[in-house]
Amino acid sequence: MRGMVNPLTPEVLADPVALTRALVDIESVSLDEKEIADRVEEVLRSLPHLTTHRHGNTLMARTDLGRAQRVVLAGHLDTVPLNDNFPSTVEGDRIYGCGTSDMKSGVAFALNLAVTLPEPRYDVTYFFYEAEEIESRYNGLNLVAQAYPQWLEADFAVLLEPTYGVVEAGCQGTMRALVRTRGRRAHSARSWKGVNAIHAAGAVLDRLAGYQARTVEIDGCTYREGLNAVRIHGGVAGNVVPDLCEVEVNYRFAPDRTPEEAHAHVREVFDGFEVTMTDSAAGALPGLTAAPAVEFLAAVGAAPVGKLGWTDVARFAALGIPALNFGPGDPNVAHAPDEHVEIGLIREGAATLRRWLA
C-alpha cells in the first residue's frame, strides 16, 4: 500500500533467512500479488546495476555486463490460499508459514543476490513472477513469453522451486484425458431394460489397476511415470440407470516422450474406449550439459535427480534453454497447513548460489 514502510529493508535484504520471513509476511495468494510485487519492484529499481521492467505483477531485472553467457534465476511470488499459517513463525531451525517452502525461500535467494552481487560471473536475469499456482493463462512467465519473449533469452535457467536442497533436473510432462463408457438409460426398478455405463467403467479401472508404469533413465536421472484415475463422474438421478460415465485420468510421462507420443500411449492403453484429451504440457529434458549447468552442479557438489512433477522449467526447455530446479523448501510440505523450511537449508542454498555466481 502507498505510504507503507517497505519491510524489505537493507538489513533484511542482506540476510536470506530474514528475507524469507519478510516475504512470507506479505500476503500474496494467487491473483493478489500486487503488494509484494510493489515492494520487490521498489527494491529492484533502487539498484543501479539492474535494468528493471514490470508486466502485470511480474518483475524482470537484469544485469548487462557484457558477459559471454546469461543465466536466469526465477521464482514465483504467489502462494496457495492461507490455511491458518499466516504470518510466519519460527520453531527451532524451521520457519513455518504459507509460502515458506513453495517458494518464498527460493525467491529470497534471488532477491538477496540481486541486491548484494552487482557483478556476477554471468549476466543474470531475475524473474519474480505472478500466478504460478493457478491456471496457466494467468502464469507470469507465460504472459511474458507472449508479450516480451526477448526477456526470457538466456543460456541456462534455475527455477528456485522447493527441492529440499538437491538439484532436480528437467521435469515430467503431464496430461489429462476423459475415458467414457456409454450405456442406455432405464428406470432402476427395471434395470435389465438398460445398460449401466458406470458398471462398464469397471473395465477402465481394471486397465489402470494392471498398468505397469515405465521407469526411464536420462542423463543419469530417473523418471518414474504414472497413469491414474483422478476423478469419476456418472449418473443423473437416484432411480435412473446411467447412460454415461467419465473417468478422468492423469498421465505423468518422462521427458523423452513428446505430448503427441503421450497421447498415442494413452489411446493405446484404453483401446476400445472413447478417449478425449483435455490438456497436456510437455516435460523438460535434464539439460545438464550446458556450461553454466556443469559449473552449477559442481557448486552444489551432489548428483542431480529427475524432477517428478511439472514445473516452469518446461517453459524454458520449450525455448531451447536448459533449466534445473533448485530450492531449500521441502516439496512434501508445500501447500500443507504445517508448511515450513529449514533455516540451515536456506543458508546452505544461498551459499551455493553465491559460490556459483560470484
Average pLDDT over residues 93-119: 98
Are 314 and 65 a contacting pair, CB within 8 Å? no
Average pLDDT over residues 244-261: 97
CA distance 154 to 246: 43
On the question of a common fold for 10-170+284-357 and 173-281, the answer reads no
Residue of 33, 78, 161, 312 marked active site: 78
Q: What is the pLDDT of residue 287?
A: 84
Above 50 in pLDDT, residue 182? Answer: yes
Residue of 132, 133, 155, 161 marked active site: 132
CA distance 150 to 125: 11
Options 1.10.10.10, 3.40.50.300, 3.30.70.260, 3.30.70.360; CATH for 173-281 is 3.30.70.360
Using left for φ > 0, alpha for ψ between -120 and 50, and beta otherwise, residue 113 falls in alpha
Are 302 and 310 a contacting pair, CB within 8 Å? no
Q: Where are the domains of the chain?
A: 10-170+284-357, 173-281
Active site residue 11: no
Nearest alpha carbon to residue 198 among 190, 188, 211, 212: 188
Are 173 and 307 a contacting pair, CB within 8 Å? no
Query: What grid cell was written down for 27?
Result: 500476503
- CA dihedral (90, 94, 100, 103) positive or negative: positive
Please name the fold of domain 10-170+284-357.
Aminopeptidase (3.40.630)
Q: What is the pLDDT of residue 329?
A: 95
Tell me the pTM: 0.89
**Tens of pLDDT, residues 11-39:** 999 999 999 999 999 999 999 999 999 99
Active site residue 132: yes
Above 70 in pLDDT, residue 2? Answer: no
Instruction: Please provide the DSSP assignment of 4-49 as one string.
Output: PPPS--HHHHT-HHHHHHHHHTS--BTT--HHHHHHHHHHHHT-TT
Chain-centroid distance of CA 189 in Å reads 50
Q: What is the pLDDT of residue 3?
A: 52
